[in-house]
Amino acid sequence: MKNEYLALGEELDPEGYLICDYRVKSDLPIETAGSRIAEEESTGTWTRPTTLTEDIYERYGAKVVMAQGNMVRVGYPVIDFSGEFGGVPQILSIIAGNLFGLESLRGVRLQDIWIPKVITERYPGPRYGISGLRKILDRPEKPLIGTIVKPKIGLPPKEFADYVYEAGKGGLTNSKDDETLVDQDFCPLEARVSAVSEKLDLLEEEGHPMIHAHNISTSAHEILDAADIALENGARQLMVDVFTEGFSGVQVLAEDPSVGVPLHVHRAMHGAFTRDPEHGISMPVACKLVRMVGGDSFHIGTYGTGKMHANISEELHSEKALTEEMHGIHPTIPVSSGGLHPGHMPELMAKSGNDVQIQAGGGVSGHPDGVRAGATALMQAVDAAFDGIPLREYAKSHDELRKALETWGYR
Ligand code: 3PG
């Protein structure tokens, strides 16, 4: 029986296999390193089990079809993912499980995945995505522009809702809770949602349609209860920190017919496994999974313009993972957030294009004239960049933008 898990050069049927590309760092020959992954994650282990029959190996064994340089491509038969239960936890336990700890591999990074339709069709995908959010906000072309209420924690519900109102009056289309705010005693979920909903109603009456994403990340058994409380109090959008919550937390909300509002997905903690180029999981992989489980918007980075570490080519790849054709699933809108301010807009939008949700927390609330002026300045910068007008020029007739640029500069 051949048990090397090698099928180099074999053309895999993309509907018969979940295909993964790994970047591997190892002292072993690259084919051997690849076969260690395929073996560990399908029918094998460190020795040949006497119970491993030819039939089991042939039917359920993963295959290394490419091993070149430091890259290997492994195909996992779809039957390894069959059955009613398992979901994303099982997918990840196979394609991103024990392999990360194998002593024989000094580093391994899951770079990309291609999930066959027979698997994706079991998941909801985004209900709204880019086109749905544009419709709700009546913003057909330009990027969606949002803020994150700052400080991250500490504001009581009334002051919190006032911030949202001021941001809406400045013209923003979106706002959101920060990733660390859920239901703390100083700003309980119910009181916060109710206060924000009142202000969003007022903004709508005044001609400023806006939505706010309420963070309901919590223990798995409570997330639907948290969603209920938020929805009963008028929530128009919910938010989940997907890596601390788990992909299933997004899925359960996307699948529940009583939820029905767009889901904003934050990536807090991603740097623990995405930042090292030689070990971990890439953001594009996370993007495909978030899209599959139903995230309508997902943070992917700021293309080197903000405060967070960036790998620009990977961010462009993330954008594609969220928006390119994927078995007919709606595109998820990429979110650019983290250390942004008006001066970044031309460079950011040149890289992101217009199908993006841009957000600034400090870059709105830190404006010397307050939140409304900060929001106005951000919108002015986006308008200027959209129309190809240099910020310096536009700022001559737009005071809020001028002050923002004086405060933070152009980079
Ligand atoms: C986020 O949720 O992306 C951050 O809290 C961004 O905040 P900042 O714009 O102040 O960096």
CATH number at residue 61: 3.30.70.150
207 and 256 inside one domain: yes
Residue 225: closest CA among 182, 269, 185: 182
User: For 222, which DSSP code?
Assistant: G
Question: DSSP letter string over 227-262?
Answer: HHHHHHTT-SEEEEEHHHH-HHHHHHHHH-TTT-S-
Residues above pLDDT 90, as percent of the chain: 98
- From the candidates 63, 142, 150, 330, give the one annotated as an active-site residue: 150
3-state secondary structure of 385: helix
Give me the domain span that covers residue 48: 17-120
pLDDT at 395: 98
Q: For the residues 129-152, what does the mean pLDDT come to? A: 98
pLDDT at 400: 98
- Which one of 120, 146, 181 terminates a domain? 120
> Does the CB atom of residue 339 touch ligand 1 within 6 A?
yes
Cα 11 to its chain centre, rounded Å, is 31
> Does the CB atom of residue 361 touch ligand 1 within 6 A?
yes
Task: Give the pLDDT band (50/70/90) at residue 2.
Answer: low
Residue 149 C-alpha to ligand 1 middle, in angstroms?
9
C-beta separation of 250 from 290 below 8 A: yes
Tokens of 66: 């490419």
Q: At a CB cut-off of 8 Å and minimum separation 6, what does 313 contact?
A: none
Is residue 111 in a domain?
yes
- Reported as a single tens digit per residue, the pLDDT across 11-67 is 999 999 999 999 999 999 999 999 999 999 999 999 989 999 999 999 999 999 999
Asked if 150 is an active-site residue, the reply is: yes
Whole-angstrom distance, CA of residue 235 vs CA of residue 191 = 11
The answer to whether residue 350 scores a pLDDT higher than 80 is yes
Count of domains in the chain? 2
33 and 53 inside one domain: yes
> Does the CB atom of residue 366 touch ligand 1 within 6 A?
no
pLDDT at 116: 98
pLDDT at 4: 86
Residues above pLDDT 70, as percent of the chain: 99
Given ligand 1 and candidates 147, 148, 241, which is best to mutate, with the most ligand atoms within 8 Å of its CB? 148
Report residue 37: phi and psi, to 5°.
-65, -50
Task: Give the pLDDT band (50/70/90) at residue 325.
Answer: very high
Residue 81 C-alpha to ligand 1 middle, in angstroms?
37
Q: How many helices (H) and strands (E) in the chain?
A: 18, 13
157 and 296 inside one domain: yes
The answer to whether residue 90 scores a pLDDT higher than 80 is yes
329 and 237 inside one domain: yes
Residue 338 C-alpha to ligand 1 middle, in angstroms?
4
Strand segments, DSSP code E, in 104-148 are: 107-114, 144-148
145 and 256 inside one domain: yes
260 and 358 inside one domain: yes
Residue 67 C-alpha to ligand 1 middle, in angstroms?
40
Q: Where are the alpha helices (DSSP H) in 294-395?
A: 312-323, 345-352, 362-365, 371-386, 391-395
pLDDT at 355: 98
Q: What's 154-219 look like in SS3?
A: CCCHHHHHHHHHHHHHCCCCEEECCCCCCCCCCCCHHHHHHHHHHHHHHHHHCCCCCEEEEECCCC
Residue 363 C-alpha to ligand 1 middle, in angstroms?
9
> Poorest-confidence range of 306-310, 342-346, 360-364?
306-310
- Which one of 85, 120, 155 terminates a domain? 120
Whole-angstrom distance, CA of residue 52 vs CA of residue 309 = 45
> Does the CB atom of residue 146 touch ligand 1 within 6 A?
no
247 and 173 inside one domain: yes
Residue 129: exposed, middle, or buried by beta-carbon count in 10 A (0-12, 13-18, 19+)? buried
- From the candidates 63, 176, 212, 266, give the one annotated as an active-site residue: 266
Q: At a CB cut-off of 8 Å and minimum separation 6, what does 277 contact?
A: 23, 109, 311
The answer to whether residue 104 scores a pLDDT higher than 90 is yes
- Reported as a single tens digit per residue, the pLDDT across 182-227 is 999 999 999 999 999 999 999 999 999 999 999 999 999 999 999 9
Tokens of 287: 């993007």
For residue 205, how many other CB atoms are within 10 A of its CB? 8
* This model's pTM is above 0.85: yes
CA atoms within 13 A on the CB side of 344: 21
pLDDT averaged over the chain? 97
> Does the CB atom of residue 179 touch ligand 1 within 6 A?
yes
Ligand 1 nearest-atom number relative to CA 340: 9
Ligand 1 nearest-atom number relative to CA 335: 3
80 and 203 inside one domain: no
Element (H, E) at 32: helix 30-41
Whole-angstrom distance, CA of residue 148 vs CA of residue 239 = 12
pLDDT at 1: 47
CA atoms within 13 A on the CB side of 289: 25
